[in-house]
A = this chain, B = another copy of it.
């Protein structure tokens, strides 16, 4: 039903238990794409429905059996008019997934593959969302779960892992060190890897967010899509989702995709700006948007190639712009995103400033994680005024805040 193809050399592989990346091009340059014979896939618009979980896409997912019980996907798409002068703004909000982020889409596929390949243990290295997602979705399964986290990850994200009963390995080092040692241990102990980009199937899970945008918008693709970018898998997956539906004849065009990175976590933009052939440029990243704070992005090649193919680009936003975006977004839409999730909205504002989008264009922003994931970053919005419980005190306080 599907094969795997190296993003760099184009060599095609049959799926196999231990194949993660192209042996010729290596882990970084040789991430694999899942390719389908679209002629042989028989799907029509009426096969899909707006609120369904991602198992509804089984025909265009690289799995035999879908093995997850918790409801992944079917998250809301909201439509707003006249925001920032834009006629129609769509918000795809993934904070309602089981562990409150977009990552559940990838994990659902990883869990299904782990069963299919007969692994008893699964692991990942993650700054947070992939980790809590893996811990949460494997909790009701028989899989053993190990999570490698940099010890600096936000408490709220680490606490979840223990609640779900995963084995947590807090690495005294950076995310990149946690990632590298996880790969080494995984290989040694024959565990299944849910590491983003390395595992080619994850992206196929993530693409379902794009498929849902199409279905939930009556098969009308938006003109431009904005999404925050860390290691490059989510943005690549969004292109892939549109690409699949385009090749299956379900949509007539692929939206432009604009990737948003934090100013001091802009490794993929640096690669993109240098132009082809794309060569990874690693940096030391720092941003409040921890879910996209990646210095050594693993899916950089796909991200650059796919964004280019879509006719899109990348933009940088500052941490201040991201923080402001969180509350602006919440105030007009009621959608409370985590910093990495609201980065897409900050990017949209930037794109308008730079005249990159027309006001008549239909825009969609992806808000990939729930604001409750990282409440620390918005605590500074709290004003610490206390009011005595007496009518006069309260009335005069109200007059103050009104004016």
Chain B residue nearest in CB terms to A328:
B165
Contacting residue for A397 out of B136, B169, B331, B388, CB 8 A: B169
Q: Which of A387, A391, A397 has the most CB of B within 10 A?
A: A387
Report whether B170 and A385 are in contact in the complex, using a CB–CB cutoff of 8 Å: yes
Answer whether residue A371 sits at the interface, using C-beta atoms and an 8 A cutoff.
yes
B residues near A139, Cβ cutoff 8 Å: 330-334
Q: Which of under 10, 10 to 19, 20 to 34, or 35 or more describes the interface residues of A?
A: 35 or more
Of the listed stretches A179-187, A202-210, A227-235, A300-308, name the one at the interface; the rest are far from the partner chain.
Answer: A179-187
A107 shortest CB reach to chain B, Å: 11
Q: Is the CB of B171 within 8 A of A375?
A: no
User: Known: A336-B136, A391-B184, A398-B185. Is A165-B327 also a contact (CB below 8 A)?
Assistant: yes
A137–B386 alpha-carbon span in the complex (Å) = 25
A163 contacts chain B at the CB level, 8 A cutoff: yes
Q: Which of A323-358 contact B (CB under 8 A)?
A: 326-327, 330-336
Expressed in whole angstroms, the minimum distance between the Cβ of A329 and any Cβ of chain B is 9
Q: A386-B170, A398-B167 are in contact. Are A185 and B330 (CB under 8 A)?
A: no
> When the two chains form their complex, are residues B378 and A159 in contact, meaning their CB atoms are under 8 A apart?
yes
A277-291 with Cβ < 8 A to chain B: none
Which of A's residues lie within 8 Å of B, judged by CB? 51-52, 69-71, 74, 76, 78, 80, 96-100, 136-140, 146, 151, 155-156, 158-160, 162-165, 167-173, 177-178, 180-181, 184-185, 188-189, 326-327, 330-336, 370-373, 375, 378-379, 381-391, 394-395, 397-398, 401-402
